[in-house]
Amino acid sequence: MMNESASEQPLSPQVAGFVGIDWADQKHDVVLRSVGDPAKSEHQVIKSEINALNDWIAQMHERFGAKGKVLVCLEQSRGALIYHLMAYELFELYPINPSQLANYRKAFFSSGAKDDRPDADLLSELVMCHRDRLYGHNSRQEKKTLERLALIQQAKPLTTDLAIIRPNALRVKLLAQQLKTLLPFIAEYERRIA
């Protein structure tokens, strides 16, 4: 599925690889291409668990860490997976709208049928061939946001007055429940702490 325009687009010396991730609740399909041999794609399936993701990140660091950035394209702009990847300097993220991938898929597959592995392949090709048309999240920019969030987590409560705290406790619990549905990693961290 590789496009010849990939060789025409100049590569920054800091780029080491291209990754497409088709994420799901239970597993993530990942297609990886290295700058050294972009025509060859490698497919992996990663469980949608924090330990499996951390193992994959460690593999990426071992393989590409000294060579440069790994450009990652995925169909989301927020969520547990993207927030987790944003914490690493190795990755430069290119989140896209699902309709962008659907339209790109239609150009190559007339049926328009969605399938995880081919979608991950298309995502890796998209970031490799057309990243100049995508908006990337540079992890340095995002790191400041993460540092601010860490400061908020460390903040001391403004009050210990239970008359103020109790009415808001239910709101906090409801918000936490909603966040758990959006961010499955929160439940994993909560289990570890408990």
pLDDT exceeds cutoff 50 at 3: no
Residue 136 identity: G
Same domain as 88, residue 40: yes
141 and 185 together in one domain: no
pLDDT digits (tens, 9 = 90+) for 140-180: 555 666 566 666 666 666 667 777 777 777 787 888 777 76
Task: Tell me if residue 65 falls in helix, strand or coil.
Answer: coil
Query: H or E element: which one contains 137?
Result: strand 137-138
User: Contact 9/117 with Cβ under 8 angstroms?
Assistant: no
DSSP one-letter code for 35 = T
Which pLDDT score, from 0 to 100, does residue 193 have?
A: 65
Tell me, yes or no, whether 166 lies in a domain: yes
Dihedral angle over CA of 21, 22, 28, 29, nearest 10 = -80
Residues 87-124: pLDDT tens digits? 888 998 888 888 888 888 888 776 655 666 788 989 99
Residues 16-25: what's their mean pLDDT?
90
SS3 state at 189:
helix
Task: Give the 3-state secondary structure of residue 22.
Answer: strand
The pLDDT value recorded for residue 157 is: 67
Residues 6+ apart with CB under 8 A from 56: 30, 44, 46
Question: How many domains does the chain contain in total?
Answer: 2
Q: Quick check: is 5 in a domain?
A: no
Give CA separation, 124 vs 6, 64, 74, 93, 184, in Å.
Answer: 11, 16, 9, 11, 25
139 and 104 in one domain?
yes
Strand partners, 22: 29
Of residues 29 and 181, more confidence is placed in 29
pLDDT for 61 beyond 90: yes
- The pTM for the full model equals 0.64
136 with 160, same domain: the answer is no
| Average pLDDT of the chain to the nearest whole number | 78
The answer to whether residues 26 and 92 belong to one domain is yes
The answer to whether residues 136 and 92 touch, using CB atoms and an 8 Å cutoff, is yes
Tell me which of 82 and 127 has the higher pLDDT: 127
**Which tokens hold the place of 145?**
């946001």
Higher pLDDT, 129 or 183: 129
Sign of the Cα pseudo-torsion (179, 147, 13, 132, in order):
positive
